[in-house]
Amino acid sequence: MKTAGGTAASNFCLSRKIEGTRGPVYIVFSDLDGTLLDHHTYSHAGAQEGIDLLRERSVPLVLVSSKTLPEMTELHGMLGLDSPFVFENGGGIAWPDKTKSGEPLRVEIQGFPIEELQAKFNALKTVIPVPVKSILDMSVEEVMERTGLPNKRAALARERQSSIPFILLEKHDIDLFELGRINIQLREQGLGITRGGRFFHLISRDSTKGSAVRKIISTYTLLHEKEDIVTMAVGDSENDIPMLKEVDRPCLVRKHDGSIIQTGLPDVCITKSIGPAGFTEAVKTLWI
Asked if residue 75 and residue 218 are part of one domain, the reply reads yes
Query: Over the stretch 70-91, which tens digit does the pLDDT of each residue have?
Result: 999 999 999 999 999 999 999 9
Q: Judge whether 236 lies within some domain.
A: yes
Asked if residue 258 and residue 141 are part of one domain, the reply reads no
Q: Is 212 left (phi over 0), alpha (psi -120 to 50) or beta?
A: alpha
> Given a cut of 70, is residue 205 above it in pLDDT?
yes
Active-site position among 31, 33, 38, 236? 31
* CATH at residue 103: 3.40.50.1000
Q: Judge whether 151 lies within some domain.
A: yes
pLDDT for the residue 251: 96
Q: What is the mean pLDDT of the chain?
A: 88
> What does each C-alpha distance from 48 to 34, 45, 55, 74, 163 come to in angstroms?
14, 5, 10, 17, 29
Q: What percentage of the chain reaches a pLDDT higher than 70?
A: 90
Helices (H), 157-249: 176-187, 209-223, 241-245
Asked if residue 126 and residue 80 are part of one domain, the reply reads no
Q: Which of 152, 242, 248 is nearest to 201 (CA)?
A: 242
Q: Look at 158 and 10; give whichever has higher pLDDT.
A: 158
Q: Judge whether 1 lies within some domain.
A: no
Alpha-carbon dihedral sign for residues 203, 209, 210, 216:
positive
| Domain final position from 204, 220, 235 | 204
> Given a cut of 70, is residue 17 above it in pLDDT?
no
Q: Which of 234, 230, 259, 242 is nearest to 203 (CA)?
A: 242
Asked if residue 64 and residue 152 are part of one domain, the reply reads no
Asked if residue 99 and residue 35 are part of one domain, the reply reads yes
pLDDT for the residue 103: 67
Any catalytic annotation for residue 52? Answer: no
pLDDT for the residue 172: 86
pLDDT for the residue 223: 85
Q: Judge whether 191 lies within some domain.
A: yes
pLDDT for the residue 227: 84
Asked if residue 194 and residue 126 are part of one domain, the reply reads yes
| Domain final position from 150, 183, 204 | 204
Residues of the domain holding 270: 8-110+210-287
Q: How many domains does the chain have?
A: 2
Asked if residue 149 and residue 22 are part of one domain, the reply reads no
Asked if residue 141 and residue 277 are part of one domain, the reply reads no
Q: How confident is the model at residue 31 (pLDDT cuts 50, 70, 90)?
A: very high
| Domain final position from 181, 204, 227 | 204
Asked if residue 131 and residue 48 are part of one domain, the reply reads no
* CATH at residue 155: 3.30.980.20
> Given a cut of 90, is residue 287 above it in pLDDT?
no
Q: Judge whether 85 lies within some domain.
A: yes
| DSSP track, 134-169 | EGGGS-HHHHHHHH---HHHHHHTT--SS-EEEEES
pLDDT for the residue 5: 42
Say what the pTM is.
Answer: 0.87
pLDDT for the residue 225: 79
pLDDT for the residue 19: 53
User: Which backbone phi and psi does 254 adopt, to 5 degrees?
Assistant: -75, 145
pLDDT for the residue 3: 38
Sheet strand arrangement including 105-109: 105-109, 92-96, 85-87, 61-64, 25-30, 229-235, 249-254, 269-274
Asked if 4 contacts 93 with a C-beta cutoff of 8 angstroms, the reply is no
For range 223-246, the mean pLDDT: 91
Asked if residue 120 and residue 88 are part of one domain, the reply reads no
Q: Judge whether 3 lies within some domain.
A: no
Asked if residue 76 and residue 59 are part of one domain, the reply reads yes
SS3 of 49, please? Answer: helix
Query: Over the stretch 156-192, which tens digit does the pLDDT of each residue have?
Result: 999 999 999 999 998 888 887 888 899 999 998 999 9
pLDDT for the residue 13: 46
Q: Judge whether 249 lies within some domain.
A: yes
